[in-house]
Amino acid sequence: MKPITVITLDDHHLVRQGIRSLLADKPDIKLVGEGSAGEHLLVLVQQHQPDVVLLDIGMPQKEAVDTSAYPDNTFRVLPAIARLRNQYPDTHVIIVSQYQSQAIIEGAMELGVQGYLLKDDALSMQLANAIRAVYWGGLYFSPEIERQLTSGHSRNPQDAVLSSRQKEILQALANNPNLSYPQIAKRLGISEHTFNNHLRKIYERLEVSNKLEALLNALRIGLVSFERINDTHQKLP
């Protein structure tokens, strides 16, 4: 089976080295490229056509520039993600950052970013599973980011019109992004036809058109949470 290909962009050498180390023993994941500035993003994606991009948001736009000539050398992450999603819609994006800006988090989600991980001790336990989850069409957020997304959002009235079975289906989709719909239906003990009928009604009631939009909406209003399996005890340097 072809490994999941990944590129990482971060201006800190030790972080890139740490990510390289964390993924080195994962046979199903292959790091194929690294960059240290925003200008490298589209170049690396064009060169490697990766499945997943790990993207820092606090790096410079240009590498080793004369700051007097470029007084504002800030990487503008949201426009860059928009360009990436437009030109390479099959490439999935995970933000890996120390920052928790609400505007960046929500703006990134609106652009289709499927993961947001904080640079903390838990990153070593989350990274590989986050890559796998978004590759299979799921979502993955650090617990702090998930809490930030759901805090201050009251339960949507749409919550009341979702049946317990439909909420169970949403949670199963969140927890098992690598499983097909027939496989999830079997786990839930229902037919594929019944599963698809429930999914169609979920889309209608959440006013969305696909699984990713449904999960993003459900996360925002607190209908789902995300299981996380600690698969390594390595630490970033």
pLDDT reported for residue 209:
87
| 94 contacts 116 by C-beta, under 8 angstroms | yes
Q: How many CB atoms lie within 10 A of CB 211?
A: 19
Average pLDDT, the chain: 85
pLDDT reported for residue 51:
98
User: Alpha-carbon distance 191 to 200, whole Å?
Assistant: 14
Architecture label for domain 4-150: 3-Layer(aba) Sandwich (3.40)
Residue 153 has pLDDT above 50, yes or no: yes
pLDDT reported for residue 145:
87
Using alpha carbons only, what angle is made at residue 82 by residues 78 and 86, rounded to the nearest 5 degrees? 170
User: Alpha-carbon distance 142 to 154, whole Å?
Assistant: 21
Of all residues in the chain, the percent with pLDDT exceeding 90 is 50
| CA distance from start to end of the chain | 31
pLDDT reported for residue 149:
77
Domain ranges of the chain: 4-150, 157-220
Give residue-wise pLDDT tens across range 30-87: 999 999 999 999 999 999 999 999 999 889 888 765 555 555 778 888 999 999 999 9
Amino acid (one-letter) located at 47: Q
Give residue-wise pLDDT tens across range 97-152: 998 888 888 888 888 899 999 998 888 889 999 999 999 988 899 988 888 877 75
pLDDT reported for residue 226:
66
pLDDT reported for residue 46:
96
pLDDT reported for residue 13:
93
Residue 162 has pLDDT above 60, yes or no: yes
User: Alpha-carbon distance 63 to 49, whole Å?
Assistant: 22
Q: How many CB atoms lie within 10 A of CB 104?
A: 18
User: Alpha-carbon distance 55 to 100, whole Å?
Assistant: 14
123: left (phi over 0), alpha (psi -120 to 50) or beta: alpha
User: Residue 33 to residues 17, 44, 51, 146, 155: CA-CA distances in angstroms?
Assistant: 12, 7, 12, 28, 42
CATH of domain 157-220: 1.10.10.10
Residue 235: pLDDT band with limits 50, 70, 90: very low
Amino acid (one-letter) located at 218: A
pLDDT reported for residue 62:
86
